[in-house]
Amino acid sequence: MEKRHPNHPGELGVDASLAERDRAPDEINARARAVGLLLDAGVPFVVGGAYAYATYTGIYRDTKDLDLFPRKRDAGRALEVLELDGWRTERTDEVWLYKAFKGEYFVDFIFSSGNGVAVVDDEWFEHAKTATVFGHRCLVAPAEEIIWSKSFVNERERYDGADVNHLILKAGRQMDWERLMRRFDRYWEVLFSHLMMFRFAYPSERDIIPDWVMAEMMSRTLDSVREGNWEENFCRGNLISRVNYHVDIHHWGFRDGRAWDENDRKNGGGERGARPELEDTASSGR
């Protein structure tokens, strides 16, 4: 029998019981209690992770935690609410993650992607769906924002490309592609890579991605070919993987692309090789 890796996501399927079959009743009750306490306290959040993924795709899987997405300004309040109920809390990473523990069970409060790009803002709430999670009516993160966040997960032990593909397959015809394009902005090549993988995986479903999106992406690609190399030897790989590009930056002389990117965003910089008139081209290309 195959041994399951401790970080293995578990069996996938369309049976909703897969999401909870391998979880103890106490763990499910802890998740339900956390959601109820936060709702009663008026702490704003949207549900993400496996539960949001299932809402859009109908694909269920065992999950070791509950992912809730508040704005960062509300994440601290979420910890306070659960602390009053006896949960142990930690501010794990000020860039993107806080945690709350009820014994061995835990809830993740995610307010950005791990690279600091996909920040939870008002639009996560404005475009959220409503669904029942653990018996509570909750806001569920929009498909567009889930894709925005998942597209940067390209680690050796975890790659969320299949999740992105399934979200496009099941929600793509209803998605706001202009908003998705705007979300990626200076990271349009990351989105383009996932769109090409979708076309490879589902050649009979290519029309789910609007033609104007593909035309715009290919136009930008041609522009980048004409532009040629950047003058400085950046490696932006650490925006999509925390560890896989360590050698490039620490041994091969490439500049830290994530550090440069963070600084450039803070200073309001544009993206070399991407069109600054993003929203205009998105509208005119259809």
Q: Dihedral through CA 193, CA 97, CA 264, CA 284, nearest 10?
A: 50
Q: What is the pLDDT of residue 271?
A: 57
The residue written with tokens 């924002």 in the block is: 145
Q: What is the pLDDT of residue 171?
A: 98
Q: What is the pLDDT of residue 17?
A: 54
Rounded-to-integer distance, Cα 270 and Cα 259, Å: 15
- Residue ranges, the chain, pLDDT below 50: 1-9, 272-286
270-275 LR contacts (CB < 8 Å, sep 24+): 270/186, 271/185, 271/186, 271/188, 272/227, 272/230, 273/220, 273/223, 273/224, 273/227, 273/230, 274/185, 274/186, 274/188, 274/220, 275/220, 275/223
Q: What is the pLDDT of residue 63?
A: 78
Rounded-to-integer distance, Cα 245 and Cα 247, Å: 5
User: How far, in Å, are 5, 23, 51 from residue 63 at the CA level?
Assistant: 13, 8, 9
Q: What is the pLDDT of residue 7?
A: 42
